[in-house]
Amino acid sequence: MSDVPILLEMRSITKEFPGVKALSDVNLVVRAGEIHAICGENGAGKSTLMKVLSGVYPYGTYDGQIIYQGAETRFSDIRASENAGIVIIHQELALIPGMSIAENIFLGNEPRKRGAIDWTAANRMALDLMARVGLEEDPDTLIKDIGVGKQQLVEIAKAFAKDVKLLILDEPTAALNEADSRHLLDLLRGFRSRGITSIMISHKLNEIEAIADQITILRDGRTVETLDVRADGVDEDRIVRGMVGRELSSRFPDHTPKIGEVFFEVRDWNVRHPISAERQVCKNESFVVRRGEIVGFAGLMGAGRTELAMSVFGRSYGVYESGTIIKDGKEIVLKSVADAIDHGLAYVSEDRKAIGLNLLDDIKSSTVAAKLSKISHRGVLDEVEEYKAAEAYRKELRTKAPTVDESVSKLSGGNQQKVVLAKWMFTDPDLLILDEPTRGIDVGAKYEIYGIIQRLADQGKGVVVISSELPELIGLCDRIYTVFEGAITGEIARADATPENLMKQMTSTKKMLTR
C-alpha cells in the first residue's frame, strides 16, 4: 500500500476547548483511492477531527498541520474546504424536505444562465449525478417523499456536484435499514474502484471490517493506532480492543452493593416512532430492577435506549403500543410524566441543556421544579422551604455555587448535572433512570456523580444507568442489559462484563445470557 500517493495527512492536530483537550497530537494519513475508517468511542474526538479537516473549526483555532494533495492547507470555513474537494456528509442530513432532489443537489451551487437558474441544465446534470450514485427517481420528487436511504444518496450526489475528491461520511448507515446500508456500502466500493477517496466514521464494526482498507483508532482525543485491514488481518475484536483498552481501576468509588428484591418490572414493551408510525423503536423489551441495584443499559447510538427510558417514563416519547409496568407487585399505568413522578419514577435526561433544565432558572427553583407540591401549601409556594431544600441538596451533593440563587446557566456541566440530580432526588423516587449521567463532565465530577449514584442505590432505590461509555457501565453497574436496534439482546452480570463481550452484544441480535 505504501506506494500509493498520500492524499491527506493531518499532523499532530491539537484542539482545545476551554477546560478540555478534545484532540491532542492526532495524526491521520489517508492515501488516494482508499476507504479509511475512523473508530473510537463516543467522545474520542472523531467528529472534532473531521470538523478541523472541513474548516468548521478554521485554521488558527487548532494546532498542527493539514497537508492535502501535497501542500499545506489552511481552511477558513467549510466553503474553502469544499472548494478544495473535501465534502463532509453529516449523520444529520442537511437536506431541505420541501425542495426537490434537483433543487437540493444544486442548493447554493445552482447552474446559472444570464443570472437566472437554468433548470433544464440542472435537471439534466441532476439525472447524471443520480445515476452515478444509483438513485432512480424523478429529480422533481420532493425530499420528504423519499426514504432515508435515498436521502443519503442525494447527499452524496450533492457532494459529487461539487467535484469531490475526498468524501467524509459521518455514521452514514446509522439511520438506514439493512438493504439500504448494503447498497451504500456497495456504492462506496464502486467509488474506490473509480479512485475516489472516502473517510468513514462508523460504530458498526462489521461494516468497517467488510469495507475499510485502513482503520485509524482514536481514544480520549489521541491516535491509538492505524491498522491496515488486509495486512494486519484485522477483525472486530481487534478493533474493539483498540477502542476500549484503557485502565478501569480507581475511576469508581469503592462500593458493596446491597441488592434486594425485584420491585420494578417492564414486560413486553412495544413503542412506535412518534412521526413515522411504521418504525418500531421498542421491540418487545422486558427488564427488571431490584432494590439497591444499579442496572446498566449498553447500546450504540440510535439503539433505542433513550426511547425505551422515556416511553416508560410517562410515555414522554413515541406512541405506546403495548406492554405493562409492574411496580411493587402491582401493575401501574403511567399515562403522563406527572403519573410517573407520582409513582416514584425519575428520569434524568441525557441532554441537560436541551431538555433537562430551564437555563433561565436559578438553582433553587430548578431543584424543586419537578415536585412543587412538596413545598407549597394550598398552591402557594413557601420560599423558605424551597430555599432550605435547595440548600440541603447543594451541601449534600457539594454543588459548587456561591448560593442557591445562582442561575444554573452559570454552572459548569458537572454542577448542572448535580442540580438535575437534586431535582429528581427531591421527588423521592423509588426508581431513577439516568441517561448519560456523565456526558460532557470532567473526570473529577464524574467520580462524585458515581458516588451519588451508589448512595442512592444504598438507600434502597433502583437505579438505571444508560451510558455509551462501556467502562463506565462496567465499573458502576451490577447488571447490564445490551440493546440493539430497539431490542434487548443480552443481560450480563457485572462479573462477566468486558468491553469486548458487551460490544459484541451491542452490535448483533444474537442473545447471550450470563446470569
Partner 1 sequence: MSRLKDLQKNLFGGTTSNARQFGMIFTLVAIVVLFQFLTDGLTLRSDNLIALFQQNSYILILAIGMLMVIVAGHIDLSVGSVAAFAGILVAKSMSDWSLPWPVAILFGLAIGAIIGAWQGFWVAYIGVPAFIVTLAGMLLFRGGNQYIGNANTIPVPEGFREIGSGFLPEFGPNTGYNNATLLLGLAAAVAVVWREIQARKTRRAMDADPAPMWISILRMAIMVGVIAFASLRFASGRVGTSFPISGIILLVLVIAYSFYTRNTAGGRHIYAVGGNSRAAELSGVKLKRVNFFVMMNMSVLAALAGMIFVARSAASGPQDGNGWELDAIAAVFIGGAAVSGGIGTISGSIVGGLVMAVLNNGLQLMGVGTDRVQIIKGLVLLLAVAIDVYNKKQGRFSIIGSLMRPFRRDDSAPPASPPNAEREPAKAAVSG
Subset of 425-444 contacting partner 1 (CB under 8 A): 439-440
Q: CA-to-CA distance for 202 and 184, rounded, in angstroms?
A: 13
Per-position x/- string for 129-158, each x denoting binding to partner 1 as judged by CB under 8 A, each - no binding? ------------------------------
Does 305 participate in binding partner 1 (rule CB under 8 A)?
A: yes
Does 313 participate in binding partner 1 (rule CB under 8 A)?
A: yes
Does 286 participate in binding partner 1 (rule CB under 8 A)?
A: no
Instruction: Please report, as residue ranges, which positions from 182 to 241 form the binding site for partner 1 (by CB under 8 A).
Output: none
Minimum distance, C-beta of residue 409 to partner 1, in the bound complex (Å): 6
Q: Which segments of 248-360 are extended strands (E)?
A: 262-272, 280-290, 294-299, 319-327, 330-332, 345-348
Give the CB-side neighbour count of residue 2, counting CA atoms within 13 A: 1
Could you say which of 287, 347, 450, 481 contacts partner 1 (CB under 8 A)?
347
Question: In the block, which residue shows the cell 435537471?
Answer: 123
Could you say which of 232, 372, 398, 400 contacts partner 1 (CB under 8 A)?
372
Nearer to partner 1, 122 or 176 (CB): 176
Could you say which of 355, 400, 428, 510 contacts partner 1 (CB under 8 A)?
355
Q: Count residues near partner 1 (CB under 8 A).
A: 76
Q: From 178-186, 204-212, 267-275, 324-332, give the range in contact with partner 1 by CB under 8 A.
A: 267-275
Does 387 participate in binding partner 1 (rule CB under 8 A)?
A: yes
3-state secondary structure of 511: coil
Q: From 73-81, 138-146, 349-357, 499-507, give the range in contact with partner 1 by CB under 8 A.
A: 349-357
Could you say which of 360, 428, 509, 511 contacts partner 1 (CB under 8 A)?
360
Neighbours of 101 (CB within 10 A): 29
Could you say which of 5, 19, 115, 444 contacts partner 1 (CB under 8 A)?
19
Nearer to partner 1, 409 or 459 (CB): 409
Count Cβ atoms within 10 A of the Cβ of residue 289 and give its class: 0-12 exposed, 13-18 middle, 19 or more buried: buried
Could you say which of 384, 443, 495, 513 contacts partner 1 (CB under 8 A)?
384
Nearer to partner 1, 220 or 500 (CB): 220
Nearer to partner 1, 5 or 444 (CB): 444
Instruction: Please report, as residue ranges, which positions from 85 to 104 form the binding site for partner 1 (by CB under 8 A).
Output: 91-92
Does 380 participate in binding partner 1 (rule CB under 8 A)?
A: yes
Minimum distance, C-beta of residue 141 to partner 1, in the bound complex (Å): 22
Quick one: which of 74, 69, 70, 35 has its CA closest to 53? 74
Nearer to partner 1, 137 or 385 (CB): 385
Nearer to partner 1, 258 or 410 (CB): 410
Does 411 participate in binding partner 1 (rule CB under 8 A)?
A: yes
Nearer to partner 1, 196 or 401 (CB): 401
Could you say which of 357, 433, 502, 503 contacts partner 1 (CB under 8 A)?
357
Does 413 participate in binding partner 1 (rule CB under 8 A)?
A: yes
Nearer to partner 1, 176 or 234 (CB): 176
**Cβ-based neighbours of 280, under 8 Å, separated by 6 or more:** 270, 271, 272, 273, 321, 486
Does 393 participate in binding partner 1 (rule CB under 8 A)?
A: no
3-state secondary structure 164-198: CCEEEEECCCCCCCHHHHHHHHHHHHHHHHCCCEE
Does 337 participate in binding partner 1 (rule CB under 8 A)?
A: yes
Could you say which of 116, 354, 495, 513 contacts partner 1 (CB under 8 A)?
354
What is the spatial order of strands in the sheet that 197-201 belongs to? Answer: 86-89, 166-170, 197-201, 35-39, 214-219, 222-228
Does 306 participate in binding partner 1 (rule CB under 8 A)?
A: yes
DSSP assignment letter at 356: I
Does 317 participate in binding partner 1 (rule CB under 8 A)?
A: yes
Q: From 113-121, 154-162, 192-200, 380-388, give the range in contact with partner 1 by CB under 8 A.
A: 380-388
Give the bridge partners for 65, in sequence order.
11
Helices of type H across 273-360: 305-312, 337-342
- Do 9 and 28 form a contact (C-beta atoms < 8 A)? yes
Quick one: which of 464, 387, 400 has its CA closest to 426? 387
Q: Supply the angle between the helices 119-132 and 148-161 in degrees, to the nearest 10.
A: 110
Does 333 participate in binding partner 1 (rule CB under 8 A)?
A: no
Q: CA-to-CA distance for 177 and 37, rounded, in angstroms?
A: 20
**Cβ-based neighbours of 425, under 8 Å, separated by 6 or more:** 346, 393, 432, 456
Could you say which of 33, 58, 302, 451 contacts partner 1 (CB under 8 A)?
302
Minimum distance, C-beta of residue 356 to partner 1, in the bound complex (Å): 6
- Do 361 and 407 form a contact (C-beta atoms < 8 A)? yes
- Phi and psi dihedrals of 156, rounded to 5? -70, -40
Neighbours of 59 (CB within 10 A): 16
